[in-house]
Amino acid sequence: MAQNIIATKNRNVAQDKIRNVGIIAHIDSGKTTTTERILFYTGRSYKIGDIDDGDTQMDWMDQERERGITIVSAATTTFWKTYRINIIDTPGHVDFTAEVERSLRVLDGGVVVFDAEEGVQSQSETVWRQADKYKVPRLTFINKMDKLGANFEGTVNEIRDRLGATPIVMVYPIGKEDTFRGVVDLITMKAMIWGKDESGIEYETTDEIPEEVQGKVKEFRSQMIEQIAETDDALLEKYLHGEEIEPDLLKKALRKSVIRYELIPVYAGTSLRNKGVQPLLDAIIDYLPSPKDLKEVEGLLPGTEETIVRQLVPTEKFSALAFKIQLDPHVGKLTYARIYSGTLKSGTYVYNVNSGNKERVSRILLMHANQREEIEEAYSGEIVALVGPKASKTGDTLADEDHPIQLEQISFPDPVISLAIEPKTKSDQEKLSYALQRLADEDPTFRVKVDHETNQTIMAGMGELHLEILVDRMKREMGVDANIGKPQVAYKETITKSVEAEGKYIKQTGGHGQYGHCMIRLEPLGRGEGFMFENKIKGGTIPSEFISSVEKGVIQALEKGVLLGFPVTDLKIQLYDGSYHDIDSSDIAFQIAGTMAVQNGVKSAGMTLLEPIMKLEVTVPDNFMGTAIGDISSRRGKVLGTEKRNKVTIIKAYAPLAELSGYATVLRSLTEGRGVFYMEPSHYEQVPKNIIASMQTT
């Protein structure tokens, strides 16, 4: 039987027929390939894109096609049956975690792709936790069922054990590895078998379930019905009385429990071989929420802690979240926005709640990767790109000026690695500054600062690959050639003891002098708590207008560091006393006093150095396990445990980033080119005293 593709081109579908979904996964699980198949089967593209051929729709950047990885999240709109699906394909590489974070913030549902042989990998866990943070209902797709070592049931168990989720198997695979040819739908009890048509558009649907899977199908169907019945009292009653439950009732109850994050439907297939993708598309429509299901979005009344609510309908007051900035060579700055409520017309003004400015939206674009379609107005539930806003940043709320709302912002991790960059010629200095600023506007995990002592420009990011791609983009897209230094680890400094300190700045001149005097208390905080400033001044010993001056001076001193010049973090500073002069006190005098107080205080507060520790997962053939563990230990690594999967061993460890430079090359030579690793930032830890001492002498 041929699968009919009904693709309506009318985007103004009812609210309950919109799905905003993201495809998320560990690197190399087949995420982009799955998205490409979805676009092909929904009629959005007429040719199947292939990563290996470098002609995918969603990986459109040169660097993505060359490296075969996704770098930026790409958005597209497509149709399946009478439903409109807005899809965001996100990167799997940890260096581009910001792309995943900001995409998840605006999605209503997610499809998590797993590799049938690799199971639940590290980055799968990371993206799963990110989806948990934003309470995103999701489906899972166990991909690569045709791969040697594919293990459907093992992966389902890992989803349960490693992710703490409740998977519910919706299809059972027919065959595996080179015999994989289809799936059995456990709700309709029909087998879907692909084979004759290489593109996978046509497949056979039959009531005859292959004999070799009949036992398993019966077992998993019974388990599925029990899991669904437990979420609905009326169905549970039927189930306990041994009555047959109609497929429609099962679907309805399952949909509710998926939206409540109780059950996670599991599908299977092989995107590369074009098998099993259509049932996944049906599941997106059947089980993932529409804006209508989610009903409302909560936010704060700007400047207060008062919660306000917006209904997710076009007739409500306008509100949207800018979740991504992209610099487009043709139209300039694009602000990607998810419209939560109301309607937005091109040519009108929006109010940026975060900056307090009004910005004109000159054009509204529907995006398909890097192609675009201009529209006159956009409605609640849509994901669009806006041309016009100049100052909007990632995470800003756009709203109706007369009815503002502050939506929850997006939080991003701090960079862990930096490098110095300088223009090849003096005339390129201005071009370099402009290019770095543009990239920093686009990417919230990319930071740029100037070290005034050395006059060097320092760029910082989430990993060596992250910085490498950005330097490459500057060269290709902006024509800026630069010299770059060796990557440097983003160390931080902190204190270990509580102390009190004083800063007094007095300068007498012929006319007005300068007078600033403050007393502060420094206390260590827990790892990752950052910096807190508390005003404990009583009785006006320092006038209120100079409190922020002291804070400014304190922050300036903390940014420069004391021990080795790295920023100071994880401490609380209380301003508890001081004095002022009626005539000579000024903003600058109190800034200098604040700086002096910090410099005086930290010297006796047990300064120490913190370094980024990476979570490391190394996969090696069994016979190289001892060698790999020995190498990790020699890098000050801490092995947490090992896990056996088929003929390889996965070593889990923590190791300092400073010791992992060039690790990929070393691992390849230790394992005859067969070892692979994955790492992501985990936390900061104190650097051993002997290493601090050696750093101070170099």
Number of H helices, E strands in the chain: 17, 38
Q: What angle do CA 365, 371, 374 make, to 5 degrees?
A: 25
CATH number of domain containing 438: 3.30.70.870
Mark 232-244 as b/e (b = at least 16 C-beta within 10 Å): beebbebbeeeee
pLDDT of residue 686: 92
Does 9 reside within a domain?
no
121 and 158 in contact (C-beta within 8 Å)? Answer: no
pLDDT digits (tens, 9 = 90+) for 393-426: 888 899 998 999 988 877 777 777 888 888 888 7
- Same-domain status, 85 and 229: yes
- Does any domain span residue 538? yes
Q: Do 389 and 447 share a structural domain? A: no
User: How far apart (Å, rounded) are the C-alpha atoms in residues 113 and 25?
Assistant: 5
pTM score above 0.75: no
**Residues spanned by the domain of 444:** 418-490
Tell whether the model's pLDDT for residue 299 goes beyond 70: yes
Task: Express as a percent the part of the chain with pLDDT over 70.
Answer: 89
Residue 191 shares a structural domain with residue 133: yes
Q: What is the mean pLDDT of the chain?
A: 84
Structure confidence at residue 350 as a pLDDT band (50, 70, 90): very high
Task: Please give the Cα distance from 38 to 77 (Å, whole number).
Answer: 11
User: Does residue 431 sit in the same domain as residue 396?
Assistant: no
Do 389 and 535 sit in the same domain of this protein? no
- How many domains in the chain? 5
Of the listed ranges 90-94, 332-336, 518-522, the least confidently predicted one is 90-94
Tokens 């983003």 found at: 490
Task: Return the top range by mean pLDDT from 119-123, 235-239, 563-567, 591-595.
Answer: 591-595
- Over 80: is that where the pLDDT of 100 sits? no
Q: For residue 61, what pLDDT band results from cuts at 50, 70 and 90?
A: very low
Binned at pLDDT 50, 70 and 90, residue 13 comes out as confident
Give the residue-averaged pLDDT of 188-205.
86
Residue 40 sits in the same domain as residue 152: yes
Has residue 412 been placed in a domain? no
Cα–Cα distances in Å, from 166 out to 160, 171, 227, 276? 6, 16, 9, 22
d(Cα 384, Cα 473) in Å, to the nearest integer? 24
Question: Pairing mode, if any, of strands 109-115 and 138-143?
Answer: parallel
**Using CB atoms within 10 A of its CB, is residue 86 exposed (0-12), middle (13-18) or buried (19+)?**
buried
276, 131: one domain: yes
Residues 681, 624, single domain; the answer is: yes
pLDDT of residue 99: 56
Q: What is the CATH number of the domain that holds 595?
A: 3.30.230.10
Give 417's contacts (C-beta < 8 A, 6+ positions apart): 460, 461, 462, 463, 464, 466, 467, 487, 488, 489, 490, 612, 657
Average pLDDT over residues 264-270: 95
Which amino acid appears at position 21 of this protein?
V
Residue keyed to tokens 């000024």: 586
Among 490, 512, 528, the domain boundary falls at 490
Residue 599 lies in a domain: yes
| CATH code assigned at 689 | 3.30.70.240
Residue 336 falls within a domain, yes or no? yes
What's the pLDDT at 324?
80
Query: Binding site residues for GTP, as ranges?
Result: 25-32, 89-93, 143-146
What pLDDT digit, counting tens, does each position of 541-580 carry? 999 899 999 999 999 999 888 888 888 999 999 999 999 9
Q: Is residue 397 part of a domain?
A: yes
**End of a domain among 543, 571, 606?**
606
Residue 6, pLDDT > 60, answer: no
pLDDT at 384 over 60: yes
Q: Tokens at residue 270, please?
A: 């092989």
CATH number at residue 400: 2.40.30.10
Residue 6 domain-assigned (yes or no): no
Please report whether residue 635 resides in a domain.
Answer: yes
CATH code of the domain covering residue 122 = 3.40.50.300
What does the chain come to in residues?
698
Q: End-to-end distance of the chain based on CA atoms, in angstroms?
A: 73
The domain boundary residue, chosen from 606, 633, 651 = 606
586 and 503 part of one domain: yes
Of 19-28, 96-105, 109-118, the range with the lowest mean pLDDT is 96-105
The reported pLDDT for the residue numbered 102 is 60
Same domain, 602 and 676: no
Whether 31 and 154 map to the same domain: the answer is yes
Pairing of strands 138-143, 167-169: unpaired
Count of C-beta atoms within a 10 Å radius of residue 426: 8
- Which band of pLDDT confidence, cut at 50, 70 and 90, is reported for residue 532? very high
Sign of CA dihedral 121, 125, 128, 134: negative
Asked if residue 577 lies in contact with residue 537, where contact means CB atoms within 8 angstroms, the answer is: yes
Contact between residue 45 and residue 33 where contact means Cβ atoms under 8 Å apart: no
- 569, 640: one domain: no
Residue ranges of the annotated binding site are 25-32, 89-93, 143-146
pLDDT given at position 4: 30
Question: Cβ-count burial of 354 within 10 angstroms (0-12 exposed, 13-18 middle, 19+ buried)?
Answer: middle
